[in-house]
Structure 1
Amino acid sequence: METQDWKANAKNILKSELARKGVDYETLATKLKELGIEENYNSINTKINRGSFTFQFFLQCMKAIGVNEIRIN
């Protein structure tokens, strides 16, 4: 799998989980702030659409939106 494929896969998994939970980027920023993580709409939008966010950011997002399990094909 090429680098771009990995980035696209990461981005798609995160976007899918956000959509499944009905969470937009503004709401995600609020939920992250509740966990003590300072992010804003623009930083979230840039990270996710670029697809090159850290695994730490991914885990923070999953915790913030209440996802406990991820399936990776």
Structure 2
Amino acid sequence: MTNWNDIAKRLLKSELVKRGISNNDLAVMLNEVGIDETKASIDSKISRGTFSACFLLQCLTVIGCYKIEINDFESQLLMIAEPVEPYKILKNEK
């Protein structure tokens, strides 16, 4: 099953990283256009991945991202995503 919150979170984080923009920078940029956000509120939203489409569009707009390639992004997800299978714990054998 697709975790859409995780995809949205990774999409926003990757666009910020591409542009060298921190969450603090994003808060300043959003405040400059009248959107009241703090670094802490942005950290929380991105960490949970549970933010509105409106918030995503606001962020993408202020950072200058006007085009995203969903197909390209999905292929990148396969390379950078956490493993689907749980980690195996090796027992110390003596």
TM range (shorter): over 0.9
Aligned residues: 71
In 2: Cα distance, 1:66 partner to 1:34 partner: 14
Where does the alignment leave 5 or more consecutive residues of structure 1 unmatched? none
Identical pairs, percent: 46
Where does the alignment leave 5 or more consecutive residues of structure 2 unmatched? 72-94
In 1: Cα distance, 2:61 partner to 2:55 partner: 10
Q: Of the two, which has the highest radius of gyration?
A: 2
The correspondence for 1:56, drawn from 46, 54, 69, is: 54
Task: Give the TM-score normalised by the residue count of structure 2.
Answer: 0.73
Q: Which residue is equivalent to 2:9?
A: 11
Q: Deviations over 1:21-45 (max 9, x none)?
A: 1000000000001110010010000
In 2: Cα distance, 1:9 partner to 1:22 partner: 20
Letter in 2 for 1:27: D
Matched position secondary structure for 1:62: helix
Task: Give the TM-score normalised by the residue count of structure 1.
Answer: 0.92
User: Which structure is higher in helix share?
Assistant: 1
Matched position secondary structure for 2:70: coil
Structure with bigger RCO (C-alpha 8 Å, 6+ apart): 1
Considering only aligned residues, what root-mean-square deviation do their CA atoms show, in Å? 0.8
Q: Give the drift of 1:71.
A: 1.2
The correspondence for 1:22, drawn from 17, 20, 37, is: 20
Q: Which residue is equivalent to 1:66?
A: 64
